[in-house]
Structure 1
């Protein structure tokens, strides 16, 4: 490699880091992370977020975005992505699909993607107003699977602890009914026998199938997350491990502190540790620790639809996720060397799938699910917000007469193209009693993407409030 080119590359990297540090000192850079478990609406959310900002001075409807209301947004544009090793969020593809004569929902993402916006605005007050006529805020948006976030607590577990935790899950309630095959596969393995890579691969694939069955049944707390969304690791030996039952370890007299090199148990432990150090930890160091603000999308409605086990497992997953965050108020040193998330939004997604009179109930339900996790956040001084959104609104609300009584209803189009009018049901404000799960009449509809026509800004519910919470304090 030419030494002059190499030196220039390092100079350019240093300049880029200096610019980023300068922006952080000036508090004019936000690294926003967006996550949520599968089907929570991450792709739709980021598509709508970008769309609302890019159309902010055109036909975007954002009455609660204070900076827009004050007329201080000069313009917003996309900018060059800094991290060249990360996929670019496919905004253009998403908009193209939504803008067609038969609109299509954006394709779900299966890995990390990023995109950058620059917001130019008129300064509001203070000394900075007189130093420059206008200001710029750089917004980096990172999309990553919530399933990967579930893996971070594994960093604090050894193989024995993970086996103990997983054994309890495998034997619990509805999961146990799905675990018959994987338990049989695991019990057949001679742990002291010579390492059989094909056997471990087949058993790991069986364990991944078990996790996928759990996900289809409505369970949310499923680890390792990469078994569900392997990304570039599909088929790699680093994913060819699985937990063992405590009874099996005892019956085969396994001493995890004295493993025979090359044995099946030694390979399992080695791969578990490798997974932690070379898959989970780099995700934390390269991405997670740099986030300033976080949006977590929560699909409460699907959990209600699938039953009490799904509701409680979603709540457990949220509490599990909260263990991973480095929270606290930002200051200059923290922003330079160890940025902390100082604002957090929990958003119940798909608010267009309930009637407007049930929206307050949905927020209360989300708050009740977050009660335990929120206590630590409040202690750490994190500003949190619970809300509901429809990133891309796919229904309209109205009323219809039934037996002489006017009832609220939703109107939309099914994925098959048929018109649909229904009352989905009442949303409970907290964990429902047993009779709700036995007799609940909640019907979670699946609507087709809305027909935009001549509009460029996507229809939504409460995206303007989320934008204001995330951005407005930096646009002053």
Structure 2
């Protein structure tokens, strides 16, 4: 009986793989990467995409999504989990939080999850529409912690190179005071001594505390990501390493420590982390994407100040080196997928007044100027926009010093009403003079109150859907 069940399971798996392979050959299957660092709004974004598609023919407002505007969308259905080894994206739980009284934001991403949607529509061109008017697109969306993203470039760095990179960050004026306890404890380590696992674990624990404090202070460029969100690795020795100082790096350049020494243990743990944690994560999830959305929370970085804004810019350019970009064709889609369309989205556009949203897009373009030029050279179609996956404020007007100005209205996290002008958004990466005189304060709004059966309000999610899916559902 067991053999029979296993045989059936194998046959079902083969059938699923054949279906997906056929869909990819026919250009009817899309893997979407939703990329963003911690706090950029990935969970809200994916929840909104699912909600807008499910409600597209009812209460959703999607005037720029051509398949809806042309009344060619029959419907969208959520399908069974595509990868049985991954968690199901908790759309229902997110909607329950947003439908609560009072509504609350869904919990942030803490692990990898997936969702599969089947989009059924009517074709509007091509010879195939004479054979069958109906078509179906399979859309797979993968959600993963922003903290883990920043580990991907570690695959190109050995332990000493990574230590040098981290040391530059730690020794900055803003981070060094936060790292004081770690720096003092690390000085007591003799790399040539016989390996002391408890000592290394203690130093790694203090280094982890340093990373958490940096994150709380608004910094984004933090590695290793699993130290912050360890998942199933919590307490495992693979996380008991840390970057070395410049002096320690110089010592190692001139000496080969014995096997079993502190130096040996640190090297082996870093290499194990590369090969057994980062590499499988990259191979399984990041080498198969067709389209990408990069979410960027520019406003929180502006709120925190110059060092945090520059840190965010470095982090974004750091992680964008980890994806495969280029033009796609039938063979590459099947055997070596590449991202051929990418949209950069400044999130939380509802936290600035409408007249400042164009500046928000220009600021985002300024931050990603170099990375975007390389992608365009590789033949990737890119676009920038400002969005609110779930719009939490309303625009209004008031009179200030005899002039009409735009303001925002909404509720704070405690449910109290807010009416304010948050300030002007710079149209390019700010210089030092700007930081000395800036006077904005972008607030945190609570989710909007709405009828449970109403689609989530948004800003420009229809444009995002059109850019990602429009050419696939013609």
Q: TM-score, normalised by structure 1?
A: 0.97
Report the counterpart of residue 112 of structure 1 in structure 2: 112
Report the counterpart of residue 183 of structure 1 in structure 2: 183
Q: 1:133 to 1:257 in 2, by over 3 A?
A: farther
State the distance in 2 between where 1:218 and 1:257 align: 38
Report the counterpart of residue 337 of structure 2 in structure 1: 339
Report the counterpart of residue 285 of structure 2 in structure 1: 287
The answer for unaligned runs of 5 or more in structure 2 is none
State the distance in 1 between where 2:258 and 2:176 align: 31
State the distance in 1 between where 2:434 and 2:163 align: 35
State the distance in 1 between where 2:226 and 2:410 align: 35
1:171 aligns with 2:202: no
Report the counterpart of residue 393 of structure 2 in structure 1: 395
State the distance in 2 between where 1:203 and 1:468 align: 49
**Does the 8 A contact of 1:218 with 1:309 survive in 2?**
no
State the distance in 2 between where 1:465 and 1:256 align: 57
State the distance in 2 between where 1:131 and 1:279 align: 47
**Does the 8 A contact of 2:37 with 2:149 survive in 1?**
no
**Deviation of 1:468 (Å):** 0.5
Report the counterpart of residue 34 of structure 2 in structure 1: 34
Number of equivalent positions: 474
Please list the CA deviations of residues 101-152 of structure 1 after superposition, one character each: whole Å capped at 9, or x if unmatched: 2111111111111111100000111111012120000111101122212111
How do residues 45-64 of structure 1 correspond to structure 2 at under 5 angstroms?
A: 45-64=45-64
1:302 aligns with 2:281: no
Please list the CA deviations of residues 202-254 of structure 1 after superposition, one character each: whole Å capped at 9, or x if unmatched: 1111111111222222221111111122122121111110011121243xx43
1:465 aligns with 2:463: yes
Q: TM-score, normalised by structure 2?
A: 0.97
Q: 1:256 to 1:397 in 2, by over 3 A?
A: farther
State the distance in 2 between where 1:53 and 1:92 align: 15
Q: Secondary structure at the match of 1:378?
A: helix
Candidates 322, 325, 330, aligned match of 1:324: 322
**Does the 8 A contact of 1:120 with 1:137 survive in 2?**
yes
Report the counterpart of residue 367 of structure 1 in structure 2: 365
Please list the CA deviations of residues 176-227 of structure 1 after superposition, one character each: whole Å capped at 9, or x if unmatched: 2222111111111121112111111111111111112222222211111111
How do residues 260-271 of structure 1 correspond to structure 2 at under 5 angstroms?
A: 260-271=258-269
**Does the 8 A contact of 1:34 with 1:296 survive in 2?**
yes
Report the counterpart of residue 68 of structure 1 in structure 2: 68
Q: Secondary structure at the match of 1:84?
A: coil
How do residues 447-458 of structure 1 correspond to structure 2 at under 5 angstroms?
A: 447-453=445-451, 455-458=453-456
**Deviation of 1:422 (Å):** 0.2
Bigger Cα displacement from structure 2, 309-318 vs 270-279: 309-318
How do residues 76-91 of structure 1 correspond to structure 2 at under 5 angstroms?
A: 76-91=76-91
State the distance in 2 between where 1:148 and 1:277 align: 15
State the distance in 1 between where 2:451 and 2:75 align: 24
Candidates 228, 252, 255, aligned match of 1:254: 252
Report the counterpart of residue 235 of structure 2 in structure 1: 235
State the distance in 1 between where 2:195 and 2:295 align: 42
1:201 aligns with 2:201: yes
Report the counterpart of residue 11 of structure 1 in structure 2: 11
Q: 1:406 to 1:455 in 2, by over 3 A?
A: farther
Q: Secondary structure at the match of 2:78?
A: strand
State the distance in 1 between where 2:64 and 2:249 align: 58
**Does the 8 A contact of 1:25 with 1:335 survive in 2?**
yes
**Deviation of 1:284 (Å):** 0.9
Report the counterpart of residue 100 of structure 1 in structure 2: 100
Q: 1:429 to 1:336 in 2, by over 3 A?
A: same
Q: Secondary structure at the match of 2:451?
A: coil
**Does the 8 A contact of 1:118 with 1:139 survive in 2?**
yes
Q: Secondary structure at the match of 1:81?
A: coil
State the distance in 2 between where 1:388 and 1:225 align: 27
State the distance in 2 between where 1:299 and 1:94 align: 20
Q: Secondary structure at the match of 1:178?
A: coil
Q: 1:236 to 1:446 in 2, by over 3 A?
A: same
Q: Secondary structure at the match of 2:160?
A: helix
Please list the CA deviations of residues 263-308 of structure 1 after superposition, one character each: whole Å capped at 9, or x if unmatched: 1111100000000000000011111111111111100000101001
State the distance in 2 between where 1:223 and 1:254 align: 22
Q: Secondary structure at the match of 1:340?
A: coil
Q: Secondary structure at the match of 2:117?
A: strand
Q: Secondary structure at the match of 1:16?
A: helix
Report the counterpart of residue 435 of structure 2 in structure 1: 437
Report the counterpart of residue 215 of structure 1 in structure 2: 215
State the distance in 2 between where 1:191 and 1:34 align: 41
**Deviation of 1:11 (Å):** 3.0
Candidates 446, 465, 474, aligned match of 2:444: 446
Please list the CA deviations of residues 319-348 of structure 1 after superposition, one character each: whole Å capped at 9, or x if unmatched: 111111111111111111111111111110
**Deviation of 1:434 (Å):** 2.1
